[in-house]
């Protein structure tokens, strides 16, 4: 690519390829649509769109709805195109070339991309021989490398490991570095401790409408932090990035978050069923507090799944992530993974 700057020479255009027909368990999507009464409201909202006007660039009503959900101030909220946009903005706002970024590994692959985009250095902190992360290892690495930014994804994508509130506190309190606390999957875990971000100067929590709220189609995420950090994100992020329809849908959905409780519980029950079934069958599967499961298995198993039009995520040979599907989808999966 002639005009690409030299330091990006290894970047390649990413293509997801054709979406196959079948059982799609590869993108950590919700297998269940949002509650029908909400979808009806989303459809009605379209009638209120002024198509020829820009969206509200301050996302006032949406920020207020999110703030109300947590009982916090709208000044502590900023919305973006998925949490991806806000994570990217955090990297751009805070990192100089060659600054260090720490994160557990494996984790959400975009952290490394965002790091490369700003010319910083991503330093992975690995789990033990069982791929379990330890807080003490992270604290030790922070002391050793003195990073500007530390990423904590909990429950972690793709391994599913959950760090408790007190574990996260120990990391936060060990450093003055900024902590990006990615809670995309926390609604499937024991406790949602999003508001911990407001107890410290150095924490920005990231949440999304794409997982528990079953709305990846609208591309909406948000950051929660103290006003100083939110002002920083707002100073750097692009104006008007969240569309009018997305703002409307997001507001309706979070105002009725309680309607999602049943489907979240169903996904958690199904997750446990898949875990225990495959565990009993001798699979090397990891406990998860998210809507997916990490499994090390022979590639021939995946080929069998594909033959049955069941698509899970392959990271590399032998390393897979299965998104929890509906009961019947999971039945089909378990039928194949004997």
CB of 198 to a second copy, least distance (A): 15
> Of residues 232-291, which lie at the interface with a second copy (CB under 8 A)?
232, 234-236, 238-246, 249
Q: Which stretch in 6-14, 189-197, 269-277, 281-289 sits in contact with a second copy by CB under 8 A?
A: 6-14
Residues forming a β-bridge with 150: 102, 179
CB of 32 to a second copy, least distance (A): 7
CB of 216 to a second copy, least distance (A): 4
Residues forming a β-bridge with 101: 122, 149
Q: Which of 52, 98, 130, 166 binds a second copy (CB under 8 A)?
A: 52
Contact 242, 220 (CB under 8 A): yes
> Does the N-terminal peptide bond of residue 158 adopt cis geometry, omega within 30 degrees of 0?
yes
Q: Which of 20, 37, 43, 335 binds a second copy (CB under 8 A)?
A: 43
Smaller CB distance to a second copy: residue 80 or 106?
80
Helix or strand run (H / E) with residue 53? none
Size of the site for a second copy (CB under 8 A): 77
- What is the per-residue binding string for a second copy in 202-221, x denoting contact by CB under 8 A? x-------x---xxxxxx--
Q: Which of 23, 25, 41, 42 binds a second copy (CB under 8 A)?
A: 42
Pairing type for strands 203-208 and 23-25 reads unpaired
> Of residues 87-146, which lie at the interface with a second copy (CB under 8 A)?
88, 92-97, 117
Smaller CB distance to a second copy: residue 94 or 288?
94
Q: Is 2 in the site for a second copy (CB under 8 A)?
A: yes
Tokens of 275: 């875990």
Q: Which of 21, 50, 128, 258 binds a second copy (CB under 8 A)?
A: 50
Smaller CB distance to a second copy: residue 268 or 285?
268
Can you tell me which residue has the tokens 């990423």?
A: 151
Smaller CB distance to a second copy: residue 2 or 338?
2
Q: What angle do CA 230, 210, 272 make, to 5 degrees?
A: 120
Contact 119, 97 (CB under 8 A): yes
Distance between CA 173 and CA 168 in Å, rounded?
9
CB-facing half-sphere around the CA of 209: CA atoms within 13 A: 29
Smaller CB distance to a second copy: residue 162 or 292?
292
Smaller CB distance to a second copy: residue 11 or 132?
11
> Does the N-terminal peptide bond of residue 92 adopt cis geometry, omega within 30 degrees of 0?
no
Smaller CB distance to a second copy: residue 105 or 202?
202
> Of residues 19-38, which lie at the interface with a second copy (CB under 8 A)?
19, 24, 27, 29-34
Smaller CB distance to a second copy: residue 99 or 192?
99
Tokens of 146: 């003195």
Contact 191, 101 (CB under 8 A): no
Contacts of residue 277, Cβ cutoff 8 Å, sequence gap at least 6? 334
CB-facing half-sphere around the CA of 235: CA atoms within 13 A: 10
CB of 171 to a second copy, least distance (A): 16
């Amino acid at each position: 690519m002639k005009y690409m700057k030299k330091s990006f020479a290894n970047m390649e255009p990413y293509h997801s390829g054709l979406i196959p027909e079948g059982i799609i368990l590869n993108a950590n999507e919700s297998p269940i649509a949002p509650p029908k009464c909400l979808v009806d409201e989303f459809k009605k909202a379209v009638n209120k769109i002024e198509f020829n006007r820009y969206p509200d660039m301050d996302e006032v009503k949406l920020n207020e709805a999110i703030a109300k959900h947590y009982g916090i101030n709208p000044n502590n909220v900023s919305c973006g195109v998925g949490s991806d946009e806000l994570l990217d903005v955090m990297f751009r706002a805070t990192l100089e070339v060659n600054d260090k970024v720490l994160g557990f590994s494996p984790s959400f692959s975009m952290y490394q991309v965002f790091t490369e985009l700003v010319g910083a250095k991503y330093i992975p902190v690995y789990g033990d021989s069982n791929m379990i992360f330890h807080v003490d290892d992270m604290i030790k690495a922070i002391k050793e490398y003195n990073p500007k930014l530390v990423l904590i994804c909990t429950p972690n994508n793709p391994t599913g490991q959950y760090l408790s509130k007190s574990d996260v506190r120990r990391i936060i309190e060990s450093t003055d570095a900024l902590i990006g606390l990615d809670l995309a999957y926390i609604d499937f875990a024991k406790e949602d401790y999003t508001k911990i971000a407001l107890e410290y100067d150095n924490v920005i929590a990231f949440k999304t409408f794409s997982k528990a709220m079953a709305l990846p189609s609208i591309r909406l995420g948000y950051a929660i932090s103290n006003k100083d950090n939110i002002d920083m994100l707002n100073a750097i992020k692009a104006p008007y990035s969240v569309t009018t329809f997305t703002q409307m849908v997001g507001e309706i959905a979070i105002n009725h978050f309680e309607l999602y409780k049943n489907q979240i519980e169903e996904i958690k029950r199904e997750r446990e069923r898949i875990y225990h079934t495959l565990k009993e069958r001798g699979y090397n599967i990891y406990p998860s507090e998210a809507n997916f499961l990490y499994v090390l298995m022979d590639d021939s198993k995946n080929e069998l799944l594909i033959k049955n039009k069941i698509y899970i995520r392959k990271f590399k040979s032998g390393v897979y992530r299965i998104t929890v599907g509906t009961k019947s989808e999971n039945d089909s999966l378990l039928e194949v993974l004997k």
